[in-house]
C-alpha cells in the first residue's frame, strides 16, 4: 500500500469557497481508504481560509500492472484564481493548482513449491515419479524462475518431462495464478539417501515470503519441499543342486552340491535352505551349517554365491529324488516364494538332483560233499 497526500493552500487574498479537487486513481492502483470527503475520485473541501492548508491522504494498493501516473487538480472554486484555471488539466501540470505523484513499483511474486512421490514405499529396483509443482500467487508475473532438485544417492535418474538438466529445472516465466509441473522418473537403488528436496533457486522478482536458494534443511519456506521414500529391500535368490554321480553303485558315497546366488538388488539376510535327504541315502557329512536337513546361511551379498556340499551313502532301496529349496529370507524375492515347494521346481529358488543307483551284490558260494572218502 502507498499513501498519496494532497495538500491545497489558499494564499488569498480572499477566502476560497466551493473548492473541490479531482484525483482519479489510475489503473495501477486499487483504492483502500481516505481520511476526507473523497468519493468517486472527487475530494469535496468546501471553504479554505486565507493562508490555510487542507490535506487529504488516500491509501491505495499498488497493482502488478497498469498506469502509475497519478494527477490531482483543483476542479472547482467559487472565486477566480489569480494564476490558474480549475479543471483544465493539460497533462503537464504547468499550473500550481495541479500536481502529480508517480510510482515505479518493484514487481513482487509469491512462489510456492509442492513435491510429491508416486510411491512412498517402493521396492528396491522400482521406478518412482517425483512431481514438482510451482505456483505463482502474484501479484506480479514471475520471470527467470529455476528450481533445483538434485536426486540424492538412493536414486538413479531415468527421465523427465521438462527442461531438467543436471538437477536444475529451468522454468522461465510463470503467470499470475499459474502452476507449472515437472515429473522426474528415477529408479530406487538398494542403498543411499532417499530424502529428496526441491527448492526455487532463482527468480528475477522478490518473493513476498521466501528467499530462493537458502535451503536450511527444514523446508520452512513455501518455495521448497521434500519427498522421501522408504524402500522395501528385494532380492532374487536362485538355487542350483547337482550330484557328483547320477548313477552310483549302491553303497557308494555321493556328494550333493547346493549353490545359492543372490542377484540383488538388495543384500539377502536370514537365508536358510531345506534339503531333507530322502530315504535312499544315509547322511555322512557336510561342509556347512547343516543340521537336521536345514542349511543356515544368514547373509548373502549382492551378486554373491554360497555353496554347501553334503556327502551321503547310497542305500540299496528308497527314494532317490532329492529336492533343495530356499526356506526363509527376510527380504521379498522378486520371482519366487520361499518354502512353497509344489514338487515341480518351477521357481528358481528350488532344484533337485536324482540318482539311479546300480544295484550291486556280493555272492558267496560254499560247496560240500556228503562223504569225502
- Write down the pLDDT at residue 24: 93
For residue 284, what pLDDT band results from cuts at 50, 70 and 90?
very high
| Distant-in-sequence, close-in-space partners of 165: CB < 8 Å, separation ≥ 6 | none
- Write down the pLDDT at residue 11: 94
Question: Residue 294 burial (CB < 10 Å; 0-12/13-18/19+)?
Answer: middle
Mean pLDDT of 226-254: 96
For residue 114, what pLDDT band results from cuts at 50, 70 and 90?
very high
Mean pLDDT of 267-279: 97
- Write down the pLDDT at residue 86: 77
Where b means 16+ CB within 10 Å and e means fewer, 142-158 reads bbebbbbbeeeebbeee
Interatomic CA distance for residues 8 and 11, integer angstroms = 10
Mean pLDDT of 2-31: 95
What's the pLDDT tens digit per position in 203-225? 999 998 887 778 766 667 888 99
- Write down the pLDDT at residue 278: 94
Phi, psi for residue 137 in degrees, rounded to 5: -85, 10
- Write down the pLDDT at residue 165: 98
Q: 168-174 and 142-148 as β-strands: parallel, antiparallel, unpaired? A: antiparallel
Mean pLDDT of 105-117: 94
Mean pLDDT of 155-175: 98
Interatomic CA distance for residues 146 and 157, integer angstroms = 19
Which is nearest to 74 in space by CA: 86, 92, 56? 86
Q: Tell me if domain 2-102 and domain 235-354 are identical in fold.
A: yes
- Write down the pLDDT at residue 93: 66
For residue 92, what pLDDT band results from cuts at 50, 70 and 90?
low
To the nearest whole percent, how much of the chain has pLDDT over 70?
97
Interatomic CA distance for residues 91 and 98, integer angstroms = 10
- Torsion sign, CA atoms 274, 277, 282, 287: negative
Topology annotation, domain 109-228 = Immunoglobulin-like (2.60.40)
Count of alpha carbons within 13 angstroms of residue 227, beta-carbon side: 24
Q: Picking from 44-48, 171-175, 220-224, 363-367, which range would have the lowest pLDDT averaged per residue?
A: 220-224
Mean pLDDT of 119-132: 96
Interatomic CA distance for residues 193 and 116, integer angstroms = 17
Residue 366 has pLDDT above 70, yes or no: yes
Mean pLDDT of 232-245: 96
- The alpha-carbon radius of gyration of the chain (Å, integer) is 45
Q: 294-300 and 290-291 as β-strands: parallel, antiparallel, unpaired? A: antiparallel
- Write down the pLDDT at residue 218: 66
- Write down the pLDDT at residue 230: 94
Contact by Cβ (8 Å): 55, 6: yes
Average pLDDT of the residues of the chain: 92
- Write down the pLDDT at residue 55: 98
| Distant-in-sequence, close-in-space partners of 353: CB < 8 Å, separation ≥ 6 | 241, 242, 243, 246, 256, 322
Topology annotation, domain 2-102 = Immunoglobulin-like (2.60.40)
Q: Does domain 235-354 have CATH number 2.60.40.1530?
A: yes
Residue 86 DSSP one-character state = T
Contact by Cβ (8 Å): 201, 148: yes
For residue 265, what pLDDT band results from cuts at 50, 70 and 90?
very high
Residue 236 has pLDDT above 70, yes or no: yes
For residue 190, what pLDDT band results from cuts at 50, 70 and 90?
confident
So where are the chain's domains?
A: 2-102, 109-228, 235-354
Contact by Cβ (8 Å): 62, 28: yes
pTM of the predicted protein model:
0.75
Residue 342 has pLDDT above 80, yes or no: no
Residue 271 has pLDDT above 80, yes or no: yes
To the nearest whole percent, how much of the chain has pLDDT over 90?
77
Interatomic CA distance for residues 194 and 175, integer angstroms = 33
Residue 91 has pLDDT above 70, yes or no: no
Amino acid at each position: 500500500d502507498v499513501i498519496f497526500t494532497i495538500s491545497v493552500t489558499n494564499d488569498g487574498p480572499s477566502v476560497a469557497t466551493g473548492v473541490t479537487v479531482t484525483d482519479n486513481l489510475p489503473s495501477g492502483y486499487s483504492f483502500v481508504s481516505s481520511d476526507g470527503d473523497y468519493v468517486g475520485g472527487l475530494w469535496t473541501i468546501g471553504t479554505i481560509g486565507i493562508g490555510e492548508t487542507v490535506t487529504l491522504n488516500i491509501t491505495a494498493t499498488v497493482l502488478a500492472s497498469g498506469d502509475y501516473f497519478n494527477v490531482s487538480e483543483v476542479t472547482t472554486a467559487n472565486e477566480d484564481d489569480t494564476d490558474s484555471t480549475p479543471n483544465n488539466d493539460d497533462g503537464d501540470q504547468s499550473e500550481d493548482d495541479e500536481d502529480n505523484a508517480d510510482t515505479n513499483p518493484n514487481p513482487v511474486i509469491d512462489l510456492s513449491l509442492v513435491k510429491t512421490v508416486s510411491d512412498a514405499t517402493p521396492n528396491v529396483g522400482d521406478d518412482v515419479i517425483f512431481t514438482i509443482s510451482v505456483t505463482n500467487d502474484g501479484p506480479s508475473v514471475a520471470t527467470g524462475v529455476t528450481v533445483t532438485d538434485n536426486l540424492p544417492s538412493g536414486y538413479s535418474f531415468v527421465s523427465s518431462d521438462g527442461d531438467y538438466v543436471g538437477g536444475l529445472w529451468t522454468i522461465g516465466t510463470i503467470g499470475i495464478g499459474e502452476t507449472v509441473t515437472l515429473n522426474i522418473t528415477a529408479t530406487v537403488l538398494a542403498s543411499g539417501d532417499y530424502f529428496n528436496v526441491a527448492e526455487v533457486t532463482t527468480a528475477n522478482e522478490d518473493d513476498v515470503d521466501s528467499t530462493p536458494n537458502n535451503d536450511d534443511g527444514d523446508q520452512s519456506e513455501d518455495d521448497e519441499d521434500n519427498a522421501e521414500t522408504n524402500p522395501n529391500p528385494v532380492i532374487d535368490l536362485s538355487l542350483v543342486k547337482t550330484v557328483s554321480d547320477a548313477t552310483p553303485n549302491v553303497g557308494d558315497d555321493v556328494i550333493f552340491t547346493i549353490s545359492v546366488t543372490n542377484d540383488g538388488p538388495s543384500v539377502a539376510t536370514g537365508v536358510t535352505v531345506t534339503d531333507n535327504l530322502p530315504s535312499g541315502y544315509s547322511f555322512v557329512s557336510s561342509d556347512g551349517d547343516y543340521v537336521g536337513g536345514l542349511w543356515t546361511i544368514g547373509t548373502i551379498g549382492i551378486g554373491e554365491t554360497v555353496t554347501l556340499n553334503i556327502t551321503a551313502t547310497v542305500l540299496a532301496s528308497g527314494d532317490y529324488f532329492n529336492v533343495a529349496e530356499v526356506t526363509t529370507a527376510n527380504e521379498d524375492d522378486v520371482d519366487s516364494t520361499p518354502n512353497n515347494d509344489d514338487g515341480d521346481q518351477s521357481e528358481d529358488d528350488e532344484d533337485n538332483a536324482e540318482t539311479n543307483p546300480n544295484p550291486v551284490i556280493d555272492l558267496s558260494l560254499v560247496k560240500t560233499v556228503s562223504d569225502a572218502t
